Amino acid sequence: MAVSPSLHSPSSQPAHPAWIAVDWGTSNVRAWTMDDGNSILDQASSPLGMNAIAADDALSFEGVLIGLIDRWLPRDATVRVQVVICGMAGAKQGWLEAPYCSVPVRPEELASGAVRPDISDPRIDVAILPGLKQIDDPDVMRGEETQLVGFMAAHPAFDGWVCLPGTHSKWARVSGGAIRGFKTYMTGEVFALLSKQSILRHSMDDRWDDAVFEQTVREAASAPSGFLHRLFTVRASGLVGNADAASQPGASVLSGAVIGSEIADVVRDLGRDSQIAQIAQIALIGDGKLAGLYRKALAAHGFDADAVDGEAITIAGLASAYRVINIS
């Protein structure tokens, strides 16, 4: 997927950006200054995500934002730079709540739901994008919808499921230029809790075995009711002298069990969706080890999934929203 905006050299940068893209997460915030062609001029990040601001009365969203982007802004207020923000800045505990939009929804409808907080700095105009909600089979997302919009801009004819692996993995049904529905799995959070705070932490080390991971993924599908029992074998195998089981890296088994359980449920949905079963379009948003594990897990079920860069897709989604906001 080719959404990889170029980074201009400092000598070619204009006096001020055309607009600024911001992804405000729970634990960090990232910003990119953009030109008229949506190429990146510069970028910056900060650990002052929503949680840090909520925990410190001396911090404010506007103050953190200005601290991050001030060097990009004009010295006077003759020009107001548009800032488009996705993520937790629009949560109830964030800067200003941007109410969820209900699925099904099209990208332009999402952008039209942006809210504008009161700003004391006259050099910027801020728009905060909404998240998504699903009434039937209750679910929400905030931030990932912007990545979905960026993906859809690059793949307008896509008809299938888009997976966004993470602490709370999202699977979104995309069809006909709209986000039709989605499901969230607490896979990453469950792995973190079990590997760090449960008895299984004693079986975690740096070893890894792809074959063990893939085998456990297949077991999660063939015997889904045995999930909780399989988890305990990670610990028990090393205590009862079962050499074969004890030699299996605990992280590989635990990852295979939790990711495998998620993928098995998704595959069952695919089997119920005859249209998807025929075309089997699945895309992964993300890169690195986690996306690689999801590709392996899907491959164990016979599905091929292309991974696309999460940062580039986020910027593309913010750019899509900026176009709508700039027109309205």
Per-position pLDDT tens, the chain of length 328 = 444 444 444 444 556 899 999 999 999 999 999 999 999 999 999 999 999 999 999 999 999 999 999 999 998 888 899 999 999 999 999 999 999 999 999 999 999 999 999 999 999 999 999 999 999 999 999 999 999 999 999 999 999 999 999 999 999 999 999 999 999 999 999 999 999 999 999 999 899 999 999 999 999 998 888 889 988 988 888 788 665 655 678 999 999 999 999 999 998 887 755 455 455 589 999 878 999 999 999 999 888 888 899 999 999 999 999 999 987 6
Predicted local distance difference test score (pLDDT) of residue 8: 45
Predicted local distance difference test score (pLDDT) of residue 269: 80
Lateral strand order in the sheet of 81-87: 40-46, 29-34, 19-24, 81-87, 124-128
Residue 89 corresponds to which tokens in the numbers above?
Answer: 């800045």
Predicted local distance difference test score (pLDDT) of residue 241: 63
Tell me if 174 is assigned to some domain. Answer: no
Predicted local distance difference test score (pLDDT) of residue 272: 57
Q: Could you tell me if 243 and 192 lie in one domain? A: yes
H/E stretch holding 258 = helix 250-272
Residue of 22, 40, 19, 39 lying closest to 31 (CA atoms):
22
Predicted local distance difference test score (pLDDT) of residue 279: 54
Q: Could you tell me if 232 and 315 lie in one domain? A: no
Tell me if 176 is assigned to some domain. Answer: no
Q: CA–CA separation, 271 vs 287, rounded Å?
A: 27
Tell me if 275 is assigned to some domain. Answer: yes
Q: Could you tell me if 280 and 321 lie in one domain? A: no
Residue-by-residue DSSP string for 172-202: EEEETTEEEEEEEE-HHHHHHHHHHHSGGGG
Tell me if 258 is assigned to some domain. Answer: yes
Q: Could you tell me if 80 and 23 lie in one domain? A: yes
pTM of this structure: 0.89
Predicted local distance difference test score (pLDDT) of residue 244: 61
Residue 19, phi-psi category: left (phi > 0), alpha (psi -120 to 50), beta (remainder): beta
Predicted local distance difference test score (pLDDT) of residue 280: 59
Predicted local distance difference test score (pLDDT) of residue 6: 47
What contacts 24+ positions apart, CB below 8 Å, involve 284-289? 284/162, 284/163, 284/164, 284/165, 284/308, 285/147, 285/148, 285/151, 285/162, 285/163, 285/164, 285/310, 285/313, 286/164, 286/165, 286/166, 286/310
Tell me if 165 is assigned to some domain. Answer: no
Predicted local distance difference test score (pLDDT) of residue 223: 84
Host domain of residue 277: 187-308
Tell me if 166 is assigned to some domain. Answer: no
Predicted local distance difference test score (pLDDT) of residue 4: 45
Asked if 115 and 97 touch (Cβ cutoff 8 Å), the reply is: yes
For residue 95, the domain's CATH number is 3.30.420.300
Strand positions, DSSP E, the chain: 19-24, 29-34, 40-46, 81-87, 101-102, 124-128, 132-134, 139-141, 160-164, 169-175, 178-185, 282-285, 306-308
Tell me if 168 is assigned to some domain. Answer: no
For residue 222, the domain's CATH number is 3.30.420.310
How many independent structural domains does the chain possess?
A: 2
Predicted local distance difference test score (pLDDT) of residue 225: 84
Q: Could you tell me if 299 and 193 lie in one domain? A: yes
Widest Cα–Cα separation across the chain = 75
Tell me if 293 is assigned to some domain. Answer: yes
Q: Could you tell me if 246 and 318 lie in one domain? A: no
Per-residue buried b or exposed e for 90-111, using 16+ beta carbons within 10 Å of the residue's own CB: bbeebbbbbebbebbbebeebb
Predicted local distance difference test score (pLDDT) of residue 44: 97
Q: Could you tell me if 14 and 150 lie in one domain? A: yes
Q: Could you tell me if 127 and 197 lie in one domain? A: no
